[in-house]
Amino acid sequence: NRLSYEAQTMMSKRHMERAKQVMPGGMTANIKHFEPYPIAIKRAHGSRLFDVDGHEYIDYLMGYGALMLGHGHEEVKSAIQQQIEQDGTWLFGTPHEKEAAFAERLLRYFPSMESVRYTNSGTEANLLALRLAMAHTGKYKIAKFEGHYHGAIDSLLISVSPNEQDAGTAHEPNRVADSYGMDELAMQNTFVLPFNQYEHCEKILTEHAAEIGALIVEPLEAGIIAPTNDFLQKLHTLTKKLNIVLIFDEVKTGFRTGMGGVQNLYNVEPDLTTMGKVVGGGFPFGVVGGKQEIMGRTSPLAGFDFFADQDQTDRKQLALFHSGTYNGHPLVLAAGLATLDVLEEEMSDLLIRTEQFKSELEAVFKKHSLPMKAVGIGSLFSVLFTNKESLSNYRCFEHVDKKLRTEMDRALFQEGIYVKPGNRYSMSVAHDDEAIEKTIMAYEKVVPTLFPS
Ligand code: PMP
């Protein structure tokens, strides 16, 4: 006998009505929307969100996975305060100590990185990675995977969530735009591959090797689906042979499977890695890191190794422009460094706690004989409606019962569990046993009402 959603969220409704007057759909980002309207949050602490109607929620959205220490972690707070109070400002616009200090830390965790550049988002990091790949190979087409998101970039916002009618065959997916208004030419320069189907990838990449300069992949599809056997390793070998720059987009997965990326887990060194979210400690941030011979193309240094044998005019033509007012922002790097310090201490506990949480959830699903699974590696997972033994890629989710999904998320929400949008459980060090226990109890309560036996 729960209150209706509207009765529970009257102030949020009022807020959204106001917001709609001044912003399309009342939103600052499309992903924030869910039916009938999202709640507005007023305050947060640790693992909890508090909405404008005064309700408390256990937060599994965690800033789209960016807040791996939870809300308002003391060490991040004091690092930010220290930056402002001791160093006197929050933006130098010049080189400063934290830039190199942070890069040194990243190189320590990611053996594939010899050099890094910073951006202000994961999207920007991927834009830079693509440009680097094109400059490096002199080839201007791209390959990406169906179901993989890399930001709202014309050449990459393709076949992220195509509907069944448009998607084409599982082996050679169609190229489907996920937005109106994208550059037609950029789109046509992108090839779409099926994840975990090596032979089909090999065929497409080999056929178009003369044109494709970059292959970008989420090494865990959608941050949760594992590559089969040696899929990543084989892509690595193939791209090397075909002179294609291999980019691992670890924006979601960086520091989610341990101190490093999925690349460390599978022992594959991509040419370039992009990151965001966790490394910025909850601030706008992105990283591109990789091989010096590629990264070095952004160097403005005259006489830099690459350009040593070029005359001045050629050097200018060869230089790859990368800049940004806020790149290497001191507050972001302060928050990022503090986050990495805490994660070094807390990582293994968090990974163990997440595994326990997943197995407790699965026990609930089993007890009620439900076709549901907690899928993911490390501190990020999704609860999926499926009874498939193994999940290989986007196509495994074609027949998800969307109505049931909505009902379940809504019911959990009304029990104080915040998973929308995206239905992803982004665990943080603030999710303690009590938070997990409460979540399990909410599932125990909700599940029988959705699947009456
Ligand atoms: N790549 C991946 C794998 C992502 O998950 C995201 C964001 N969800 C992005 C890129 C884009 O990052 P941002 O939102 O910081 O631009």
Residue nearest to atom 1 of ligand 1 (CA): 150
pLDDT recorded at residue 305: 54
> Which carries the bigger pLDDT value, residue 298 or residue 354?
354
Does the Cβ of 105 fall within 6 Å of ligand 1? Answer: no
**How many angstroms separate the alpha carbon of residue 64 from the centre of ligand 1?**
9
How many whole angstroms separate alpha carbon 251 and alpha carbon 81? 26
The DSSP result for 387-406, as a single string, is --S---SGGGGTT--HHHHH
Class for domain 5-72+338-446, per CATH?
alpha beta
Our answer on whether the CB atom of 147 is closer than 6 Å to any ligand 1 atom is: no
Per-residue pLDDT reduced to its tens digit, 109-160: 999 999 999 999 999 999 999 999 999 999 999 999 999 999 999 999 999 9
Which residue out of 123, 160, 274, 278 has the highest number of ligand 1 atoms within 8 Å of its CB and is therefore the one to mutate? Answer: 123
H helix and E strand count, the chain: 14, 14
Distance 151 CA to ligand 1 centre (A): 5
Give the C-alpha distances (Å, rounded to integers) separating 328 from 19, 109, 111, 182.
32, 19, 21, 30
Q: How many CA atoms lie within 13 A of 192 on its CB side?
A: 27
Q: How confident is the model at residue 397 (pLDDT cuts 50, 70, 90)?
A: confident
**pTM across the whole model:** 0.96
User: Is the model more confident about 311 or about 51?
Assistant: 51
64 Cβ inside 6 Å of ligand 1: yes
pLDDT at 310: 60
Q: DSSP of 111-172, one letter per residue?
A: TT-SEEEEESSHHHHHHHHHHHHHHHHS--EEEEETT----S-TTTSBSSS--TTTSB-SSS
Average pLDDT over residues 374-385: 94
Which of residues 452 and 34 earns the better pLDDT score? 34
Q: How far is the CA of 421 from the centre of ligand 1 (A)?
A: 14
Mean per-residue pLDDT, 95-101: 97
Classify the C-alpha dihedral 122-195-61-176 as positive or negative: positive
pLDDT band at residue 400, thresholds of 50, 70 and 90?
confident
State the DSSP string of 305-348.
GGGTTS-HHHHHHH------TTTT-HHHHHHHHHHHHHHHHHHH
5-72+338-446 shares its CATH topology with 91-328: no
- Give the span between the Cα atoms of 269 and 376, in whole angstroms: 21
Q: What percent of the chain has pLDDT over 90?
A: 80
pLDDT at residue 453 is higher than 70: no
Nearest CA to 113 out of 263, 245, 289, 261 is that of 289
- Classify residue 1 as exposed, middle or buried by CB count within 10 Å of its CB (0-12, 13-18, 19+): exposed
Domain 91-328, classified CATH 3.40.640.10, yes or no = yes
What would the pLDDT profile of 298-350 be if each residue is shown by its tens digit?
988 744 555 555 655 555 556 788 999 999 999 999 999 999 999 999 999 99
Model pLDDT for residues 162-212, shown as the tens digit of each residue:
988 999 999 999 999 999 999 999 999 999 999 999 999 999 999 999 999
List the chain domain ranges: 5-72+338-446, 91-328
Nearest-CA residue for ligand 1 atom 10 is 150
How many CB atoms are closer than 10 A to CB 304? 16
* pLDDT of the residue at 422: 72
Q: Quote the pLDDT of residue 312.
A: 56
The secondary structure of residue 227, as a DSSP letter, is: P
Q: What whole-number distance in Å separates Cα of residue 256 and Cα of residue 17?
A: 37
- Dist. CA 427–CA 224, nearest whole Å: 13
Gap from CA of 115 to ligand 1 centroid (Å): 21
pLDDT score, position 306: 54
Q: Is 36 exposed, middle or buried (0-12, 13-18, 19+ CB in 10 A)?
A: exposed
Do the beta carbons of residue 170 and residue 245 sit within 8 Å? no
The pLDDT of residue 308: 58
ipTM of the complex: 0.99
Who has greater pLDDT, 304 or 67? 67
pLDDT, the chain, mean: 93
Which atom of ligand 1 lies closest to the CA of 124? 16
What are the backbone angles phi and psi of residue 435, rounded to the nearest 5°? -65, -40
